[in-house]
Chain A
């Protein structure tokens, strides 16, 4: 990042003189705020349209000759299939309640990052092509001709929305700009206008089972390596079952949890927990991804990727599925999976084998969030915990957008944290729970070439963290999302370098008192515990 935080903070919220209907975007001047296009090999692998080499800075984007017709037909098709699109296109009154609710607007001041205008970029074309008033009156009625410049503008702004749905909370009609972004991305996909940071993980996941493209032998290696680390810290030897038929529970995590710092510590936390319980579970090298970048591409790719979860549960003959800490994964599991890939009649209504609790809130989907599972264990007193081992941490909790606004999982992680550590401080109320701010890197935007926009979009979150850091000395940001764990460390380094990032089950792992463990002198990261410094 070339720009300093001070430079980035020169934000102008007053809109410019130029009318928004002018679609021009200067990609060259705005480097650092957009993502690179999809590599042709990934589109080819997935059988998606128009694979080719191109760059947004090119004059010619090499679209199909009949691109206009493709978009028009595609739009009609989406209107036919989604009532949400029709209602959201028609009902906005431009009251502006959503306008300053988007982290990208707050961090950039770019008026087209106001959710209402982001939606108008699509809506203006809808009016021109599909409404009586727009057809007759054109721009007076807010209609706008679909031109190549408009396609370029869509690429820029619909890949500058993290589909976090914060705007939707404030809209009097619940207009969800994330839904509109998803529709726009569907349309752009028809032309092969998409970003590599979305398409490559999707292609990887389709092939190997996970976004990172980790093949089964490496999957096993990684996990064995983490178990060795874990043994160093706790003295306990764990061999997690992989692809084990007949296990009671299939456990699926986002792939970053067994691949990258700091997710790996969360993964260690899961393993310790299951060992503590003697749980009959298995991991899968085939369903080795909880996340689903298909969500950021199209509804079809959601279904293609999520197919593996139920398929693998069936093949292995488990009773139900437990899911790890991941944000967008849970939007998909909670709101899409059962509809797209279900019904999962071959599974049983999840029941905790330890406490006997029946998770009837997951009676149909048959998948339980690890935080629901663990909170229930704690409530029943089934875990032996020593919260003081986390005393080095002053913690705040970041609600990830999707578990918060997609499922309402707000209290479970807090309940857990309050039992596994002693110092938990909440950020200001307009920045947490259903009003939580995005990390700035969701929906496929967490790549390096987009760094300036990430730092801008992450500003509201970072600013709230800074607040509790200064007020209470908070030094770690806890979260339940793999994308958070991947992008928040960079964000913190930039805005609040004193604060680090951890998953909730890392904290659980630290606090768990295991049978037969050696005296713990370090936390799961291998750093000395308070009072145990050599």
Chain B
């Protein structure tokens, strides 16, 4: 039901874009106004979100420790699971962000027929998530070809690596297949894993359908309904150089693609996609487990009522005397 809601939203959006792309007067809106607007919303929204997070202090150092602490020299430490220095924290964060270290731990809990609990390694989610994110990143970088002139060498290299399998013309790009496969896996998981389906919101499907729509239209343009790349680059360069132009002869499908991208960008700061920024700020991961060695300061550490020794001694005075424990005040 929630998946259906999300599907309808993406279908309506795509349909509207297709119709609008057919109307000449709407093309500047789809090709210029909305992309600028979306970018503005994205940038302002993300900055606002990060500033909002950062405005609250981190009152305690609540590292989730996943390995042996640094204590006695003869015990083997695990600096990447229990970082003690700043560099070790950087190492731990790099593993999280680049390789999804924590997700790699994933297991599946099962109650066997003999009523034993078993924990099977379950790396599929890790693989799917990693495949999606990395191919997404590569695809974004490949898009720089459209926005930059001359095309940076790095982008060219990336593309030739990506196109390693020269199976067809135009060169088949590995990431195109990977991102679709990964997104379909993540979607299938949401739909068919009963527990994940139970917790999924419409918003969770929305992100996946939007991305599938974007990837789908992109791939269609490349392999099936080819668009005039020279015109597209003209448009893209116009956007970047703030001298927007709207060349003739760009296919309708391009406008659908661009529109969905705009929607994704504008939606980004108001959705769970902000995890892109949040992952860097997660207090259980981005601090060292050096609590007892270096004091962490809490800016709002307000005074609280306490029960002092003097009050305690007064309250239990007679009993202290009777059992012979020493007193401060006679």
Contact = CB atoms under 8 A, between A and B. Distances in A.
B12 to A, nearest CB: 14
A336 B292 CA distance: 10
Interface stretch (B63-71, B150-158, B166-174): B63-71
Nearest to A80: B56
A336 B199 contact: no
Interface residues of B, number: 99
A142 interface: yes
A20 B199 contact: yes
B67 A410 contact: yes
Contacts of A86: 52-53, 56
A171 B198 CA distance: 18
Contacts of A376: 72
Interface string A210-253: 00000111001100000000000000000000111100000000
Contact of B271 (A133, A303, A334, A466): A133
A87 interface: yes
Contacts of B274: 90-91
Interface string B100-114: 101101111101000
Contacts of B70: 361
A254 to B, nearest CB: 18
Which interface residue of B82, B203, B304 has the most chain A CB atoms within 10 A? Answer: B304
Contact of A312 (B115, B289, B309): B309
Nearest to A379: B74
Contact of B292 (A140, A303, A334): A334
B66 A405 contact: yes
Interface in A283-342: 285-286, 299-301, 303-304, 307-308, 311-312, 315, 333-336, 338-340, 342
B325 A216 contact: yes
Contact size range, A: 35 or more
B295 A179 contact: no
Interface string B23-46: 000000000000000000000000
Contacts of A132: 270
B81 A434 contact: yes
Given A217-B320, A430-B119, A174 B295 contact: no
Interface in A123-142: 131-133, 140-142
B116 A463 contact: yes
Interface stretch (B134-142, B257-265, B277-285): B277-285
Contacts of B58: 82-84
Nearest to A300: B304
B249 interface: no
Interface in A429-469: 430-431, 433-435, 459-460, 463-464, 466-467
Interface in B173-192: none
B69 A172 contact: no
Contacts of B117: 106, 459-460, 463-464
B71 A87 contact: no
Contacts of B309: 286, 308, 311-312, 315
B85 to A, nearest CB: 12
A37 interface: no
B102 A179 contact: no
Nearest to B313: A286
Nearest to A467: B116
A245 B326 contact: yes
A117 B294 contact: no
Contacts of B81: 408, 434
Given A92-B272, A174-B285, A339-B296, A220 B323 contact: yes
Contacts of A179: 62, 284
A364 B295 contact: yes
A175 interface: yes
A11 interface: yes
Contacts of A242: 325
Contacts of A339: 59-61, 295-298, 301
A169 interface: yes
Given A83-B53, A340-B298, A375-B75, A304 B196 contact: no
B71 A91 contact: no
A530 interface: no
B224 interface: no
A394 interface: no
B320 A216 contact: yes
B306 interface: yes
A96 B124 CA distance: 13
A92 B271 CA distance: 10
Contacts of B272: 90-94
Contacts of A140: 5, 202
A243 B325 contact: yes
Contact of A96 (B195, B203, B312): B195
B96 interface: yes
Contact of A407 (B65, B75, B198): B65
A94 B281 contact: no
Nearest to B2: A140
Contact of A120 (B49, B199, B297, B301): B199
Contact of B69 (A92, A217, A409, A415): A409
Contacts of B292: 333-334, 338, 361-365, 367
A83 B201 CA distance: 24
B322 A87 contact: no
Contacts of A100: 107-109, 195
A393 B278 CA distance: 48
Contacts of B160: none
Given A83-B54, A114-B199, A363-B293, A408 B65 contact: yes
Nearest to B324: A220
Given A174-B284, A334-B292, A220 B52 contact: no
Contacts of A307: 304, 306-307
A274 interface: no
A170 interface: yes
Nearest to B326: A243
B52 A13 contact: no
Given A100-B108, A217-B323, A209 B312 contact: yes
A280 interface: no
Contacts of A278: none
A434 B68 CA distance: 9
A128 to B, nearest CB: 13
Report, nearest first, the 8 A-B pairs whose CB atoms are least far apart: A408-B69, A91-B278, A174-B284, A217-B323, A430-B119, A15-B198, A365-B292, A408-B65
16 contacts: A15-B195, A82-B56, A93-B204, A94-B272, A114-B195, A132-B270, A170-B105, A172-B103, A220-B324, A286-B313, A301-B304, A335-B61, A338-B292, A361-B69, A407-B69, A408-B68
Interface of A: 9, 11, 13-15, 20, 47, 79-88, 90-97, 99-101, 106, 111, 114, 116-117, 120, 131-133, 140-142, 165, 168-176, 179, 206-209, 215-217, 220-221, 242-245, 285-286, 299-301, 303-304, 307-308, 311-312, 315, 333-336, 338-340, 342-343, 357, 359-365, 367, 372, 375-376, 379, 404-412, 415, 428, 430-431, 433-435, 459-460, 463-464, 466-467
